[in-house]
Amino acid sequence: DAKTTQPPSMDCAEGRAANLPCNHSTISGNEYVYWYRQIHSQGPQYIIHGLKNNETNEMASLIITEDRKSSTLILPHATLRDTAVYYCIVRANTGTASKLTFGTGTRLQVTL
Amino acid sequence: DTAVSQTPKYLVTQMGNDKSIKCEQNLGHDTMYWYKQDSKKFLKIMFSYNNKELIINETVPNRFSPKSPDKAHLNLHINSLELGDSAVYFCASSQVFSGNTIYFGEGSWLTVV
């Protein structure tokens, strides 16, 4: 699976949009971009994933550049509960098991 | 209802003991995993089972033995516990034909003293 690069930490004011970047310049054509987050003392939580089109769900939006070498996770109205470590992961959706390789992620701190 | 549930949530035990962590998923998924998160917060896969068959086995000491009695359960048995086994162990599951999104349990905190 391709490796990703994320800033180690970011701050965001409550109510503002949080834009979390991720570089994945070695991504392969069959690899998806996944985002998970881990709130303190909880299990990783799936947020969103995409292949090449932008995606949106009730939690977030995912913007993938046209060359697919980078992406941005957008939390439109961050709340204190969004404080967590956010992981950007790229992997192929092939085979009977898909191994998620977690990096160090971005620690997002949402403040009042 | 909890989708992926693990027991126990907390476990403190002495070196040399044998312990088990149980995991159950009610999502109807056919693939289950065990991940380990160490004190530095790195999250790494240990094992994966698909329909009770072992398909991923990362370089894990053979003191760790997963057992899958059916596709809804994947238990982790650890023999001769060592101090370095102290970590948070996460169970997870996915369904291969539904995007393979992986869903995690809440973790089991193992402390070896």
Q: How far is A9 from chain B (nearest CA, A)?
A: 15
Residue A57: what pLDDT?
95
A53 in reach of chain B (CB within 8 A):
no
B30 in reach of chain A (CB within 8 A):
yes
Residues of chain B with Cβ-Cβ distance to A42 below 8 Å are: 106-107
Residue B7: what pLDDT?
96
Residue B100: what pLDDT?
72
Q: How far is A93 from chain B (nearest CA, A)?
A: 7
Residue A88: what pLDDT?
95
Average pLDDT over residues A1-10: 88
Nearest CB to A99; choose among B45, B99, B104: B45
Average pLDDT over residues A70-78: 97
Find the distance separating the first CA and the last CA of chain B, reported in whole Å. Answer: 33
Whether pLDDT at B98 is above 60? no
Work out the number of other CB atoms within 10 angstroms of the CB of residue B107: 22
CB A82 within 8 Å of CB A18: yes
Average pLDDT over residues B11-40: 94
Task: Extract the tokens encoding A62.
Answer: 């995912």
CB B47 within 8 Å of CB B33: yes
The answer to whether the Cα torsion of A83, A87, B94, B89 is positive or negative is negative
Residue A97: what pLDDT?
62
Distance CA B70, CA A9 (A): 41
B48 in reach of chain A (CB within 8 A):
yes
Give me the DSSP letters along chain B: --SEEEE-SEEEE-TT--EEEEEEE-S--SEEEEEEE-TT--EEEEEEEETTEEEEE-S--TTEEEEEEETTEEEEEE-S--GGG-EEEEEEEE-TTTTT--EE---EEEEE-
CA angle at B1 for the pair A47 and B48, rounded to the nearest 5°: 60
Q: How confident is the model at residue A95 (pLDDT cuts 50, 70, 90)?
A: low
CB B113 within 8 Å of CB B26: no
The pLDDT mean for chain A works out to 92
B108 in reach of chain A (CB within 8 A):
no
CB spacing of A45 vs B104 below 8 angstroms: yes
A85 in reach of chain B (CB within 8 A):
yes
Whether pLDDT at B35 is above 70? yes
Q: pLDDT (tens digit, 9 = 90+) per residue, B44-79?
A: 999 888 888 888 888 789 999 999 999 899 999 999
Instruction: Output the CA–CA distances (angstroms, integers) from residue A47 to A27, A35, A95, B64, B106, in the order listed.
Output: 20, 5, 22, 30, 16
Residue B89: what pLDDT?
97
Q: How confident is the model at residue A31 (pLDDT cuts 50, 70, 90)?
A: confident
A93 in reach of chain B (CB within 8 A):
yes
Least confident among A66-70, B38-42, B86-90: B38-42
Nearest to B34 by CA among B107, B112, B109: B107
Q: How far is B102 from chain A (nearest CA, A)?
A: 7
